[in-house]
């Protein structure tokens, strides 16, 4: 057969697998970077549970500028307006009673 039988024969497919290993130096750098930027690692809050979609909401809030700081600013502004309306109505009431 003059080697015609080996013409159609194929070797088994192989793939190149490069395993990924844990790099403790890189992990230490990442942890230090998080501490410097004020980010909290998961190890600091072990009792806090994951809520579905919380990472998506956090990134969305960060993009839009919505957060605890902005909510407190808005609520303090609303509170100031309410106090001003109460003081103004009290002043108008006193002027009306005295006249």
> What percent of the chain clears pLDDT 90, i.e. is strictly above it?
16
Q: Is the pLDDT of residue 3 over 70?
A: no
Residue 32 scores a pLDDT above 70: yes
C-alpha of 91 from chain center: 46
For the segment 51-79, the average pLDDT, to the nearest whole number, is 73
Length of the chain: 99
pLDDT at site 5: 56
- State the pTM of this model: 0.29
The residue ranking higher by pLDDT, 75 or 38, is: 38
Rounded Cα–Cα distance for residues 63 and 69 (Å): 14
Q: Residues 6 or more apart from 67 whose CB is under 8 A from it?
A: 61
């Amino acid at each position: 057969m003059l080697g015609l039988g080996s013409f159609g024969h194929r070797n088994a497919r192989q793939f190149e697998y490069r395993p990924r290993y844990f790099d403790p130096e890189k992990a230490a750098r990442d942890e230090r970077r998080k501490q410097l930027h004020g980010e909290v690692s998961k190890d600091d809050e072990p009792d806090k549970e994951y809520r579905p979609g919380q990472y998506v909401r956090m990134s969305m809030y960060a993009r839009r500028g919505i957060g605890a700081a902005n909510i407190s600013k808005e609520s303090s502004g609303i509170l100031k307006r309410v106090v001003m309306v109460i003081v103004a109505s009290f002043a108008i009431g006193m002027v009306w009673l005295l006249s």
